[in-house]
Amino acid sequence: MSWVAFPHMEALSPLQLQAYLERVGILDGIPAPTLEGVTAVHQAHLLSVPFESLDIHTDRPISIEAAAIFDKLVARRRGGFCYENNGLFAAAVSALGLEVDLLSARVARGDSTFGPPFDHLVLRAHFNGAPYLLDVGFGEGFRTPLRIDGEWHDQAPSAPYRARHVDGELLVEHRKPDQIKPDYRIDLELRHLTEFIPMCHYHQNSPDSGFTQQWTASLATSNGRVTVVHSRLVETLNGQRTETPVPTADELADVLADRFGITDVDTERLMATNGPQTTDD
């Protein structure tokens, strides 16, 4: 199957689009390229396709070539990190007829600084002339397209989010009960997916990348989030967080299959991987 060139993004073919919609559970026709239609696809993707970094810890190289993304996330029903999830989502909504911009973002760090360019891939589209951000590749983030207007928008069960212009960039933030936390800063220059290849390689190989230090699989649910990280299953349900030990490779295999639909990873290799026992979901 080939991908068709669109002005702002390569689009899925009609057959690929149908397979993608089935993958995310949209079975009642092709959504319109409207805010309502894309919101439905955005939410469905987050509830169906995990954010995960498992291949990095089992020596399976991650490619962001179009066919490789489609094969992994749709045909093999896996998840991926931002380049894969947002790359696939951009191709899908482009096939609906929407023009999608690819933008480079620098992810916030704990020391109040931001990572390097191309650290994160985020998307922008316009509805009725108004700009919105789309992002299905950030783990816990906004659930519906986020209007770029500097205002807070409810994203329940996630925190409220806003996107505002700061010093020629876009700053995406979420609001906790006692503080405002930055997520990432976005460079507004339009990009192509191939420009993210060097950072995709970095995140798979550098000891300084958080992805090489700790593996995870995480999936949004209608009322929270479920995450497995090393030997723990972390579940947030209506704001209440619980942790359950996952001490063996066989139990990890069951968790990955039952909660994330992931069946083709070497759980013995994953359990042998050491790393910090923390997660922020």
Convert the pLDDT of each residue in 248-257 to its tens digit: 999 999 999 9
pLDDT value for 93: 97
* Cα–Cα distance, 221 to 218 (Å, whole number): 10
Residue 216 pLDDT greater than 90, yes or no = yes
Residue 251 within any structural domain of the chain: no
Residue 169 within any structural domain of the chain: yes
Residue 91 pLDDT greater than 80, yes or no = yes
* Pair of tokens at residue 58: 């089992």
Convert the pLDDT of each residue in 4-31 to its tens digit: 434 455 799 999 999 999 999 999 999 9
Over range 135-144, report the average pLDDT.
96
Structural domain of residue 173, as residue ranges?
101-190
Q: How many CA atoms lie within 13 A of 205 on its CB side?
A: 9
Q: 42, 82, 101, 183: which is the annotated catalytic residue?
A: 82
- Reference 238, options 221, 259, 224, 222; nearest CA is 224
Q: At what angle do helices 35-48 and 82-95 cross, to 10 degrees?
A: 140
Residue 174 within any structural domain of the chain: yes
Residue 35 within any structural domain of the chain: no
Active site residue 183: no
Active site residue 200: no
Residue 144 within any structural domain of the chain: yes
The domain tally of the chain equals: 1
Question: Residues of the chain with pLDDT > 90: what percent?
Answer: 89
Active site residue 258: no
Max distance between CA atoms of the chain, in angstroms, equals 52
* Cα–Cα distance, 88 to 68 (Å, whole number): 10
DSSP string, 61-126: ----SHHHHHIIIIIS---B-HHHHHHHHHHHHHHTT---EEEEEEEB-TTS-B--TTSEEEEEEE
Residue 180 within any structural domain of the chain: yes
Q: 45, 57, 120, 230: which is the annotated catalytic residue?
A: 120
Residue with tokens 């390689």: 201
Convert the pLDDT of each residue in 29-80 to its tens digit: 999 999 999 999 999 999 999 999 999 999 999 999 999 999 999 999 999 9
- Reference 50, options 67, 16, 73; nearest CA is 73
Residue 34 within any structural domain of the chain: no
Q: What is the CATH number of the domain that holds 129?
A: 2.40.128.150
Q: 101, 119, 135, 183: which is the annotated catalytic residue?
A: 135
Residue 121 within any structural domain of the chain: yes
DSSP 43: H
